[in-house]
């Protein structure tokens, strides 16, 4: 698992959002943590947008100065590494690492890569948690209705596969705005509930749910995140997304999460902090016996 983590000031091993890096095998005996980050460096199955290979290392390096995660007003978190190499091995690795993190009593949070990274962790989460709702913040619906129907799972259709799999109580999009999402094919009765407003006031139906939360950063306006593959105008502000995440943390039980679609770009390092801060808001500190 993983390469040598970045260590910007030579004082220790520094992971996503400044979280301490711990070996996966030591997770049960490591520091208490609500969030357990791990990265996925290769794109898994990108059909749309620019290649984002290396995104996990970029986000990790660019958010390292956010540490520490241990102050009272912040959730605690650890980082167990970055998966890289053959895509098939990485997909199996995501399931294995997610399972190990669940078994250690933590919340797996995967950092990709293309949005397809959400699929294996969400499926693993649904297998462990009955009645789970899949919530994805995304400018797009990823239902693949405008495609050729090749049958291959990719970042433009994997949500259709999640919904058709029947493992989730409901699949809920927050923030769809791309022109394709106004197609009549997506009228009520489709496989996904669409909440267009990125606003806690629109989320009351989710109160009390167990949720997997997936953040595709293109829900944010390209003004804030220019380095994403499928830019859409008229997007959300970081504060809107942060408020939605905080509402979900306060009103739902977050069992797992992922964040994806950042293209590595040294000119836009701040986007890594926006992404990690929004994810960070989701996961509150908790005791191990909860
Ligand atoms: Mn998207």
Summarised one tens digit per residue, pLDDT across range 91-134 is: 999 999 999 999 998 999 999 999 999 999 999 999 999 999 99
Asked, for residue 236, whether it belongs to a domain, the answer is yes
Which residue from 132, 95, 139 is spatially nearest to 117, judged by alpha carbons?
A: 95
Distance from the CA of 228 to the center of ligand 1, in angstroms?
A: 9
Distance from the CA of 282 to the center of ligand 1, in angstroms?
A: 20
State how beta strands 77-83 and 107-111 pair.
unpaired
Q: What is the 3-state secondary structure (H, E, C) of 46-72?
A: CCCCCCCCCHHHHHHHHCHHHCCCCCC
| Angle made by CA atoms 98, 149, 116, in degrees to the nearest 5 | 20
pLDDT score of 2: 43
Distance from the CA of 66 to the center of ligand 1, in angstroms?
A: 26
pLDDT score of 288: 43
Asked, for residue 191, whether it belongs to a domain, the answer is yes
Instruction: List, for residues 165-220, the tens digit of each pLDDT value.
Output: 999 999 999 999 999 898 877 777 788 999 999 999 999 999 999 999 999 999 99
Instruction: List, for residues 13-61, the tens digit of each pLDDT value.
Output: 789 988 888 889 888 755 566 889 999 998 888 888 888 899 999 999 9
Distance from the CA of 219 to the center of ligand 1, in angstroms?
A: 7
User: Rg for the chain (alpha carbons), in Å?
Assistant: 17
Distance from the CA of 99 to the center of ligand 1, in angstroms?
A: 26
Asked, for residue 6, whether it belongs to a domain, the answer is no
pLDDT score of 192: 93
Asked, for residue 290, whether it belongs to a domain, the answer is no
Q: Tokens for 190?
A: 């489709």
Asked, for residue 178, whether it belongs to a domain, the answer is yes
**Residue in the structure block whose two tokens are 């649904």:** 126
Kindly report the CATH number assigned to the domain that includes residue 184: 3.40.800.10
- Is residue 39 a contact partner of residue 59, using CB atoms and an 8 Å limit? yes
Asked, for residue 288, whether it belongs to a domain, the answer is no
pLDDT score of 12: 54
Compute the average pLDDT of residues 79-84. 93
Distance from the CA of 202 to the center of ligand 1, in angstroms?
A: 20
Distance from the CA of 290 to the center of ligand 1, in angstroms?
A: 34
pLDDT score of 274: 96
Q: Dihedral angle at the C-alpha atoms of 270, 275, 281, 285, nearest 10 degrees?
A: -100
pLDDT score of 130: 94
Compute the average pLDDT of residues 76-88. 91
Distance from the CA of 41 to the center of ligand 1, in angstroms?
A: 18
Which residue from 10, 181, 194, 211 is spatially nearest to 118, judged by alpha carbons?
A: 211
Asked, for residue 186, whether it belongs to a domain, the answer is yes
Residues 6+ positions from 266 with CB-CB distance below 8 Å: none
Compute the average pLDDT of residues 233-252. 97
Domain range holding 241? 16-280
Question: Domain count of the chain?
Answer: 1
pLDDT score of 3: 42
């Amino acid at each position: 698992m993983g390469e040598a983590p970045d260590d910007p000031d030579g004082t220790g091993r520094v992971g996503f959002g400044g979280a301490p890096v711990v070996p996966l095998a030591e997770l049960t005996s490591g520091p208490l943590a609500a969030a357990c980050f791990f990265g996925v460096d290769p794109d898994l199955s990108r059909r749309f947008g620019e290649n984002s290979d290396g995104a996990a290392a970029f986000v990790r390096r660019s958010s390292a100065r956010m540490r520490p995660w241990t102050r009272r007003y912040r959730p605690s978190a650890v980082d167990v590494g970055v998966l890289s190499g053959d895509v098939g091995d990485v997909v199996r690795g995501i399931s294995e690492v997610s399972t190990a993190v669940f078994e250690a009593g933590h919340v797996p949070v995967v950092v990709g890569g293309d949005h397809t990274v959400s699929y294996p962790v969400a499926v693993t989460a649904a297998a462990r948690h009955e009645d789970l709702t899949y919530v994805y913040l995304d400018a797009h619906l990823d239902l693949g209705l405008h495609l050729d129907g090749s049958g291959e799972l990719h970042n433009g259709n994997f949500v259709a596969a999640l919904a058709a799999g029947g493992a989730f109580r409901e699949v809920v999009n927050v923030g769809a705005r791309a022109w394709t999402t106004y197609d009549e094919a997506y009228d009520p009765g489709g496989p996904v509930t669409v909440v267009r407003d990125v606003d806690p006031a629109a989320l009351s139906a989710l109160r009390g749910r167990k949720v997997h939360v997936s953040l595709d950063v293109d829900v944010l306006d390209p003004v804030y995140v220019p380095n994403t593959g499928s830019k859409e105008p008229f997007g959300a502000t970081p504060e809107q997304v942060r408020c939605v995440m905080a509402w979900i943390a306060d009103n739902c039980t977050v069992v797992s999460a992922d964040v994806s679609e950042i293209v590595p770009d040294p000119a836009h390092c701040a986007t890594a902090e926006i992404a990690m801060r929004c994810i960070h808001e989701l996961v509150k500190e908790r005791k191990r016996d909860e």
